[in-house]
């Protein structure tokens, strides 16, 4: 017999685990609401060119990680490998800038990258993202970063590191790139194979190579923040000023370059000490030219993407118990066919009254039904036998205290709602 398993790099999040995920998602929505972000839902797949033209041809994502296929109509389609380009596409396509000067959107979506799976790195993962269009004000950079920090705290993650950098703009970056190439020119033979190709195609990516030899070779390389033009330097100084004013700690990391070519000015990453090699729980930055490059009016923008899967791993590693409600309020355990039929009616009433309830449909013993109620996390078990049906009363057992009392059918709803 064929053994079916989920494809490599994908996972099932089972019903026992989903309440924790839903809790974190609801906290994210709540925080988005507090900061004025409204949800956008874009398709799971897009035309391939959206990504190849806007993320950077030499990036790992575009050059080797996209799930690209031809659909039956002969179009090249790609499962979204990130959420920013689709949001920009929607912003331009629907001319959202015409309605509001600043548009703030958030999304919770599946992202697909053909990466080598390991702990915290999957081929399908979920990102919680926000994007703000229409403002160059460094205050919005600080707002976006502080929203992520507030969200982390709201789910109990108090300890994380914020790495911050400015990667300049098309005016200053080419000058820095040249300085970096000059520095690396005589040292290329000491770099790893990947950095040799980065040297040729995407030299700034050499800066975040994890190989210790490359790190040593590039330790004295020119630093990006020292090459910023006046506009970028002033912007960066203001971002740092606002973050300090908001009480948000950061570490300056001149080697933080991020994985996509669209970034300009502010770049940041949140790192958790609870994870192994894949320790980035989120990252983002400005991308002031992408709206124009996609065909819209020149519109500055900035956002972040947080990896929900890695957030869940962080919560597990920190042993954080989230305040999750029991799944069902009441479970009806019945014995005998009259009691079973009475249970069907009671269940319907409870649900119409807004009380979550369930029952056994397999004719198990009372003991087995109690076990199921316990597994489902029911607050109460309502025990119904032939006698109870005859008297139109039920035994209500509180699972937390094991207290039991006899309650007339007509008063059950009231008892369960206290």
Q: Is 200 exposed, middle or buried (0-12, 13-18, 19+ CB in 10 A)?
A: exposed
Do the beta carbons of residue 79 and residue 44 sit within 8 Å? yes
Query: Binding to ligand HAM (CB under 6 A): which residues in 125-164?
Result: 125, 127, 129, 131
Among 109, 168, 284, 300, binds ligand HAM (CB under 6 A): 284
Closest to ligand HAM by CB, 62 or 347: 62
Q: For ligand HAM, which is the closer residue by CB, 277 or 368?
A: 277
Contact in structure between 359 and 334 (CB atoms under 8 Å)? yes
Taking alpha carbons only, the member of 109, 98, 95 closest to residue 42 is 109
Cβ contacts of 403 within 8 Å, gap of 6 or more:
397
The reply to whether 20 sits near ligand HAM by the rule CB under 6 A is no
Residue 412 sits at φ, ψ, to 5 deg, of: -60, -45
**Residue closer to ligand HAM (CB basis): 55 or 217:** 55
Contact with ligand HAM (CB under 6 A) among 20, 27, 89, 310 = 310
> What tokens does 230 get?
């006046």
CB of 154 to ligand HAM, least distance (A): 18
Closest approach of Cβ 48 to ligand HAM, in Å?
17
Residue list 49-88, contact with ligand HAM (CB under 6 A): 82-84
Q: Is the dihedral of CA 99, 297, 57, 78 positive or negative?
A: positive
Half-sphere CA count of 73, side-chain side, radius 13 A: 3
Instruction: Based on the shown chain and the rule CB under 6 A, indicate whether residue 307 belongs to the binding site for ligand HAM.
Output: yes
- Of 85, 93, 125, the residue nearest 108 (C-alpha): 125
C-alpha–C-alpha distance, residues 236 and 169, integer Å: 12
Q: The tokens 């685990």 sit on which residue? A: 17
- C-beta closer to ligand HAM: residue 222 or 284: 284
121 is a contact residue toward ligand HAM (CB under 6 A) = yes
Question: What single DSSP character describes residue 3?
Answer: P
C-beta of 203 vs 305, nearer to ligand HAM: 305
Among the listed residues 12, 15, 13, the one whose alpha carbon sits nearest the alpha carbon of residue 328:
15
112 vs 380, beta carbon nearer ligand HAM: 112
Rg (CA), the chain: 27
Give the range of 164-172, 211-219, 298-306, 326-334 binding ligand HAM by CB under 6 A. 298-306
Q: Check binding of 305 to ligand HAM (CB under 6 A).
A: yes
Of the listed pieces 148-156, 159-167, 283-291, 397-405, which binds ligand HAM according to CB under 6 A?
283-291
Phi and psi, residue 20, nearest 5°: -65, -40
Q: How far is the CB of 334 from ligand HAM (least distance, A)?
A: 45
* One of 46, 143, 274, 309 touching ligand HAM (CB under 6 A): 309
CB of 307 to ligand HAM, least distance (A): 2
Site string for ligand HAM, 255-274 (x = CB under 6 A): ----x---------------
Residues facing residue 45 across a β-bridge: 79
- Whose tokens are 């900035």? That residue is 302
Nearest residue to ligand HAM on Cβ basis: 307
Tell me, by CB under 6 A, how many residues bind ligand HAM. 25
Nearer CB in complex with ligand HAM: 83/168: 83
**Letter string b/e over residues 67-105, b meaning 16 or more CB atoms within 10 A of that residue's CB:** ebeeeeeeeebbbbbbbbbbbbbbbbeeebbeeeeebbb
27 binds ligand HAM (CB under 6 A): no
Q: Which positions lie near ligand HAM, rule CB under 6 A? A: 82-84, 113, 115, 120-122, 125, 127, 129, 131, 259, 280-285, 303-305, 307, 309-310
């Amino acid at each position: 017999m064929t053994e079916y398993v989920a494809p490599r790099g994908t996972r099932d999040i089972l019903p026992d685990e989903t309440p924790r995920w839903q809790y974190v998602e609801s906290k994210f929505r709540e925080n988005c609401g507090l900061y004025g972000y409204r949800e956008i839902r874009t398709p799971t797949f897009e035309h391939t060119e959206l990504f190849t033209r806007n993320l950077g041809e030499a990036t790992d994502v575009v050059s080797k990680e996209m799930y690209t296929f031809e659909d039956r109509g002969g179009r090249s389609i790609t499962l979204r490998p990130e959420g920013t380009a689709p949001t920009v596409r929607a912003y331009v396509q629907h001319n959202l800038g015409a309605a509001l000067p600043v548009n703030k959107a958030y999304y919770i979506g599946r992202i697909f990258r053909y990466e080598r799976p390991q702990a915290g790195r999957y081929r399908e993962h979920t990102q919680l993202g926000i994007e703000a269009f229409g403002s160059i004000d460094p205050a919005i950079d600080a707002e976006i970063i502080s929203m992520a920090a507030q969200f982390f705290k709201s789910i109990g993650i108090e300890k994380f590191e914020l790495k911050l950098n400015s990667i300049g703009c098309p005016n200053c970056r080419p000058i820095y790139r040249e300085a970096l190439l000059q520095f690396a020119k005589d040292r290329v033979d000491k770099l790893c194979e990947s950095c040799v190709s980065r040297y040729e195609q995407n030299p700034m990516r050499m800066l975040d190579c994890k190989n210790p030899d490359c790190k040593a070779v590039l330790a004295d390389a020119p630093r990006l923040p020292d090459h910023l033009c006046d506009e970028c330097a002033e912007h960066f100084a203001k971002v740092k000023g606002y973050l300090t004013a908001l009480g948000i700690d950061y570490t300056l990391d001149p080697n933080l370059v991020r994985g996509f070519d669209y970034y300009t000015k502010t770049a940041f990453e949140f790192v958790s000490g609870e994870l192994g090699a894949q320790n980035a729980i989120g990252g983002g930055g400005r991308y002031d030219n992408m709206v124009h490059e996609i065909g819209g009016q020149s519109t500055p923008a900035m956002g972040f993407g947080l990896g929900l899967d890695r957030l869940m791993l962080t919560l597990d590693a920190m042993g954080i118990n989230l305040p999750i409600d029991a799944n069902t309020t009441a479970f009806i355990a019945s014995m005998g066919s009259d009691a079973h039929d009475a249970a069907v009616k009671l269940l319907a009433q409870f649900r119409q009254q807004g009380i979550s309830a369930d029952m056994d449909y397999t004719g198990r013993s009372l003991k087995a039904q109690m076990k199921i109620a316990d597994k489902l996390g029911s607050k109460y078990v309502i025990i119904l036998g032939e006698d109870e049906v005859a008297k139109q009363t039920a035994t209500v057992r509180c699972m937390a205290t094991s207290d039991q009392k006899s309650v007339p059918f007509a008063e059950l709803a009231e008892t369960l709602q206290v």
